[in-house]
Every structure is written in C-alpha cells, then in structure tokens.
Amino acid sequence: MTWTLPKGTPHAGETTEATAIREVGEETGLEVEIIRRFESIEYTFVQSGTRIYKTVHYFLMVPTGGDLARHDREFEAVRWIDFDEAQSILTFETERALVARAAEHAPGIAGAVAATSDPA
C-alpha cells in the first residue's frame, strides 16, 4: 500500500486554500481549518507517455469536525497518525521530511496527520 498525505486538483476558479480544505474533506472525511501555508513540493512524472510537471501546495491544518469514516472511496483506508508515526508510515521521503518540519512548527497542536492509502 502507498501511504500519502491528502492532495488533489483545483476546480476552475478555486483558490489553493479552498482546494486544500475541499480535498482533505473529501479524502479524509474531516473538516479542517488552515493554520498556515506550508511548503510546496515540485516533481515530474510520466503518464501515458507525457511528462507531467506538478506542484503540490501544503498547509498546516487542524481538524474542526468530521469523521474519518466519511472519507470518499478513492482510497482504501484513511488513518490519523502522530507526527512521529508518519516517519515510518508515509511512503514518500519528501512527505516524511515535510511532516517532520511541520511538527517543528506546530507547538501546541496535537501531533497528528491524516494519511490516505492507495493500493499500489
């Protein structure tokens, strides 16, 4: 299984912040509030013979409601994990490093991230 942070594509006219809140809600079932903008990650991949350049914008968020059981079925499983546990669960090093830096900037915030799993 691939464990990754929630992310997705903006709808036409949607702000980056609105996209992040919507995607986290859809993929995890949680209602969230953005605390601060965090780092972006840029990478490329090939899909159907075409090179895709992608930028993923991240935000430090806190849950304000919702229920993990309400996540969409795009993913097989969704978990709430401690910042420290993310280091052994998240699949991609870039996301593990991002979560480690987020933990340093999150004093007083319950140390957890929502991670979504996609069967590989």
- The structure tokens listed for 118 are 């996609």
Q: Is the dihedral of CA 96, 97, 98, 104 positive or negative?
A: positive
Percent of the chain at pLDDT > 90 equals: 38
Is the predicted pLDDT of residue 78 greater than 90, yes or no? Answer: no
Q: Convert the pLDDT of each residue in 83-101 to its tens digit.
A: 888 889 899 898 899 888 8
Model confidence pLDDT, tens digit, residues 10-28 = 999 999 999 999 999 998 8
Strand partners, 66: 30
Number of domains comprising the chain: 1
For residue 111, pLDDT over 70 is answered with no
| The model scores a pTM over 0.85 | no
CATH assignment at residue 87: 3.90.79.10
Tell me which residue range forms the domain holding 81: 2-118
The secondary element (H helix, E strand) that includes residue 118 is strand 112-118
Distance CA 51, CA 23 (A): 24
Of all residues in the chain, the percent with pLDDT exceeding 70 is 88
